[in-house]
Structure formats: C-alpha cells, structure tokens
Chains A and B, each alone.
Chain A
C-alpha cells in the first residue's frame, strides 16, 4: 500500500513542478530573444551558467539513480549488506550533487551578482533549481534514515534506541551552541534571565523535542541588526536533518518489510532524477 501512496505523493509533486515549468514557459515565450541562452539565437551575449559543470552534475545524479535501482534489487534478493552498500553510494551521489550546486550558487551569487530580485531569468533559475535542490536534500536525509534502518533494522529495540540518543545529543549540542551565540548578542539582557532561565528552557526543549530544538532560536531573527544568514541556515538545516532522522528511525524501528521501504524511497529518488532531467534541458540548454 505504501507504494501507492508514494505514487500519489509523486503525482502532486509532479503537478507542483509542472506549475513551475508552465510559469517558466509563459515567461520565456513572452520574453522572446531577450533571454540568456547558450546557443546563438539569444540577443544576450553573456550566458552565466556553466553547462559542462552541470552536465557532470547530471551525470552524477543519473549514476546515483542507477545505484539506487541496484539497492532496490539487492533488497529484493534479501541481500541487506549489498542494499546498504548501494544506498551509501546513492547518498554519496546526492551529496556530491548538492555540493556542486552550492558551489554553483556561490559563484553565481557572488561572482556573477545574480539574485532572486535581479532579473526574470535569475528568479526563474533560482526558483526551479532551488525547489529541486530542496527535493534532493530531503531525499538524501530520507535515504540516510533508510540506510540506518537497513543496517540496524534486524537488531533489537535497544540497539536502535541508541540512534535516538545520538539525535538527542546532537540536538542538545546544536541548541546550546545556538543559545550561547544568540544570547551573547543580547548585550543588555540580565544574566539570570539569559543563562539561568532561557538557556535551561531551550536545552530542555531540545532534549524532549529534539526535532525542533535548534529552530527554537529563530525568534531573534527579526531583532538582529545584521543579516543572520548562517544562523538561520544552520538552524533550519540542523533542525530538519534531526527531524527527518529522528522521526524516520523511530518510525522504521523493527520494520520487517525493508525491501518495500527501500523500493518506496527509490521511487522518490528516481522522481527527483526525472525532474532534474527535464529541468536541466529547459533551464540550462534551451
């Protein structure tokens, strides 16, 4: 049954991407030649995107799709070790893809001065690739949870319970780091309030609700007199990783239908690859 629901989810996700593609098409058809393009049809000479780098990235994603399908096959042959190995390779591929995309974003934003508010091309580019990047990110977290379950799924309750403790400790650690950082910024705050009330409250929250721990410290963002980008990024990324892994491992504990679980995660991963194939053609090559 899980497979059907994953397909239904992928349907609505595909329709969301279709909305983005249709918006891209509408903008593109309306604007005509005044759109950067790698071939000589365009009226704009400078083409900011690096096609060869992204082609390699596409290749990496296709490779990770192949390793994923091999993991599904190994799981169907009840070869848990093989499935774990292929899952690790898939996670590696997804991580390389994300790393290259971050590198690309950095060079486009800092080097080429691109941004969501700079031009229609930039906004379209970042909206499409960004939405896809979020999908890859959550796919990697999903696969990590599945890989942990593949490794530990056959063990007893207590052994898997260790993972929960690891997530709790990471959550508490991140929250303490965050709390000390942000409370330090509040220069005229009373010491007792800062370190004897707010800090223990946050650490307790991070212990009992590990999945929202780091996000508890987003409250200071509106009051900061500097762009708190690293803080927000760290808290959102850390918070979502802990959320997905903690809930995922808790949910996967003691499951015996691993082959089907791996197949369902494979469906999601192939879907992400499929969207990238279309996106690469539309955004980079046309």
Chain B
C-alpha cells in the first residue's frame, strides 16, 4: 500500500475551490430547470446526468479517488456496478410488465 504521508503533501486548495464553484453552479442549474417546465423526459435525463456529474466530482476530488491506488478505486466503484444492475432490473420490470396481471 502506498502511504501519501511519507511524501510531501501537495496543496489542493485551488482545485477544491473550483470543484466547490462547479457544485454550486450545477445545483443552481438543477433547481432552475426543475421548475421552468421543459419536457419531462428531457428533464429526467438532464437532472440525473447532472446529479451523477456532481456525485462524481465529490467522489473523485473530495474523496481523493483521483489520487488513490487502483485497489481502493476498485472497491469504491464496485457498488456502482451492482447498483446499475439493480436499477436496470427494476426498470425492465416496469417496461416489460405483464399487463394481464393488473
């Protein structure tokens, strides 16, 4: 395992402030587009994409995944794969639901 404490720590303040600004702007955009009444299908795609971008920024920069070892990243991204399988299965269940049941 690599220890970052051994080497001289680097100052990331600037990139943290940039990410903070990005998160703030994206949140404002989300709140605005949710209420101005654009077509619903487009809104869903846009909002989920924005949320994933924000979550990714937090994970990669604030949780230091960018600077971590490969091993830790694999652990961190593993639930993402399981989660997408879960979400796809749930969605398929409703897209191909047996209508005669209801």
List residues of A whose CB falls within 8 A of some B CB: 1, 3-4, 7-8, 10-12, 14-15, 18-19, 21-22, 25-26, 29-30, 38-41, 51-52, 55, 58-59, 62-63, 65-66, 68-70, 73, 76-77, 259-260, 263, 266-267, 270-271, 273-274, 277-278, 280-282, 284-286
Within 8 A of A (CB), among B25-52: 27-28, 30-31, 34-35, 37-38, 40, 43-44, 47-48, 50-52
Partner of A277 from the list B11, B51, B86 (CB cut-off 8 Å) is B51
Are the C-beta atoms of A38 and B35 separated by less than 8 Å? yes
Are the C-beta atoms of B9 and A19 separated by less than 8 Å? no
**How far is the CB of B52 from the nearest CB of chain A, in Å?**
8
Closest 5 CB pairs of A and B: A281-B51, A285-B34, A41-B40, A76-B9, A29-B94
Residues on the B chain within 8 Å of A52, using CB: 31
Are the C-beta atoms of A39 and B40 separated by less than 8 Å? yes
Are the C-beta atoms of A259 and B34 separated by less than 8 Å? no
Q: A4 CA to B69 CA in the complex, in Å?
A: 11
Partner of A270 from the list B11, B38, B63 (CB cut-off 8 Å) is B63
Are the C-beta atoms of A51 and B72 separated by less than 8 Å? no
Q: Closest residue of chain A to B77, judged by CB? A: A11
**How far is the CB of A244 from the nearest CB of chain B, in Å?**
22
Q: A267 CA to B1 CA in the complex, in Å?
A: 18
Are the C-beta atoms of A66 and B20 separated by less than 8 Å? yes
Are the C-beta atoms of A11 and B75 separated by less than 8 Å? yes
Residues on the B chain within 8 Å of A284, using CB: 34
